[in-house]
Structure 1
Amino acid sequence: MKTLILGGTREARELADIASGERGFEIVSSLAGRVREPVLPVGEVRVGGFGGVEGLREWLAGNGIEAVVDATHPFAGGITANAAAAAASLGLPIVHLRRPGWAEREADRWIHVPDLALAAEAAAALGKRVFLTIGRQGVGAFAHSDAWFLIRAIDPPEGDVPENHELLLARGPFSVEDEIALLTERDIDVLVTKDSGGALTEAKLTAARALGLAVVMIDRPPLPEGARQVETVAAAWDWLRARRETAER
């Protein structure tokens, strides 16, 4: 069964690794190409966009894809919506693999916001030294703030950035001890992050909790209406095997 995995996440790589070694599967992983040096999955990989819903639909049909796993980042709303629409138009089975979001604890000081613009407003009201961990995209929403920003990302941000900032290029995982040290040394009073979930970068939340810092948490965009969602690689793999068994009957 020829399967497209829309990836770029650890879960996508794990699923590609499992499925590529299984009889009866041909796996193609697709990466958006937004990270300069991505960690590549095993097997066939394509990099770059598809050209919207119609472009993806044509690619799926032209390459004989029989099933789609959307294992993109929880905030990759555009490709998720396009994948759902393209798969539906072709009658292809699709599942959305999303790791669970982070769980707020009693000692946390989280302020939930739905988007970057409101995150910038909330951060400005909460402190003057901000730790910004939203990746390289969207930093421009904070460009006109008077606060000082520590911006951490894998690659440098594109477009406008705040006038007063320090850029820290790094890839997780990060330890709680290192995060506490970073927050303390930079005198951070508010953390801004997306609800990406997962253990890779969760240490910053533990550090913020230990230091009593406010956290501006950007909530995830919703999945398309009626979308089938699983939260683990094992569940996605069970779904794929069930699709193959159905196809073989």
Structure 2
Amino acid sequence: MPAHVLILGGTTEARRLAAVLAARPGVRVTTSLAGRVARPGAVAGEVRTGGFGGADGLADWLRAHHVDALVDATHPFAEAITANAARAAAATGVPAVVLRRPGWRPGPGDRWYDVPSLAGAAEALPALGRRVFLSTGRLGLAAFAHLRDLHFVVRSVEPPEPPMPPDTELVLARGPFTVAEETELLRTHRIDVLVTKDSGGEATAAKLTAARELGLPVVVVRRPPLPPGVTAVPDVADVLERLGLSPA
């Protein structure tokens, strides 16, 4: 049974896992947050904030704090962090698990356009619409900054930093949102195309349902691949099994 588990967090699944582990007698859990959100949600157990200094810094932290298991439960698009975690685990011999909620898949009535990157999404947009709901996160707006003939509605928990598209309307709000709320937003702002990352999960899927019901095209940025030799599990129960813990 692991005594000290480090969770690379920031996702709903990470908070759920921390709550489960913190309730286990004899298990110490520390969640590491990147610090990009000023007011993150409550997390059970210990919390640290900020980077480690790359794979070597993370490996040093694992050794110094006697970590027995590492769980990468970061956002599916946190490519650099996942790569660093894999290298640090290999360097230290600490068992590692990647927790990733399953990606989204289109259903009947969906008009999805898969692209491999934010740059690919920007390239696809002019042919699909002029009023864009851009829900790719506040850190990726630079990829769309050159599109001067489109109107962007950007929703974010905190104000984004430039560069960003010149014709941008900012909506500050924290989810999750209902289908009715997403439908109202799309109608109010007269959106004719949605751009989203394939984050997966139910918490942010309502916008996809709203787009389907309104017949809007959706540009979906697909996830980057995991590092070679790294596989992911889809839920907390699978992580517990990997750690040798019973579900409850």
TM-score of Structure 1 vs Structure 2, range by shorter chain = over 0.9
Query: What is the match of residue 193 of structure 1?
Result: 196
* Letter of the 1:165 counterpart: T
Match of 1:235 in 2: 238
Q: Which 10-residue stretch deviates more, 201-210 or 229-238?
A: 229-238
1:31–1:48 Cα contact (<8 Å) kept: yes
Deviation, structure 1 residue 242: 4.8
Instruction: For residues 102-143 of structure 1, give each alpha carbon's deviation from its aligned partner in whole angstroms, at most 9, with x where no partner exists.
Output: 121121111101111111111122110000001111101111
Alignment of 1:27-176 (within 5 A): 27-145=29-147, 146-176=149-179
The TM-score with structure 1 as length reference comes to: 0.95
Give distance in 2, aligned partners of 1:242 and 1:188.
47
Q: Distance in 2 between matches of 1:205 and 1:39?
A: 24
- 1:149-174 Cα offsets, whole Å, 9 max, x none, are 00011111122111111100111111
Q: Provide the C-alpha distance between the structure 2 equivalents of 1:34 and 1:161, rounded to a whole number of angstroms.
A: 18
What do residues 8-49 of structure 1 show as CA deviations (whole Å, max 9, x unaligned)? Answer: 011111111111111221111100011111113111100000
- The number of residue pairs the alignment matches comes to 243
- 4+ long deviations beyond 2 Å: none
Any unmatched runs of 5+ in structure 1?
A: 244-249
TM-score, normalised with respect to structure 2: 0.95
Q: Name which of 8, 29, 36 aligns with 1:6.
A: 8
Confirm or deny: 8 A CA contact 1:4 1:30 kept in the other structure: yes
Amino acid at match of 2:211: A
Q: Structure 2 stretches of 5 or more lacking a match?
A: none
For 1:126, give the aligned amino acid: L
**1:24 & 1:222 partners in 2: Cα distance?**
35
Per-residue deviation, residues 151-210 of structure 1 (Å, max 9, x unmatched): 011111122111111100111111111111111111111000000011111110001001
Give the % identical residues. Answer: 56
- Structure-1 separation of matches of 2:79 and 2:91: 18
Cα deviation, residue 96, structure 1: 0.3
RMSD of the TM alignment (CA)?
1.2
Q: Which residue of 2 aligns with 1:206?
A: 209
Given that 1:135 and 1:154 are in contact with CA atoms closer than 8 Å, whether structure 2 keeps it comes out as no
Structure 1 Cα separation of the partners of residues 107 and 115 of structure 2: 17
Distance 1:221 1:179 in 2: 27
Counterpart of 2:65, as a letter, is N
Partners of 1:112 and 1:228 in 2: how far apart?
A: 22
Between 1:92-101 and 1:157-166, the stretch displaced more is 157-166
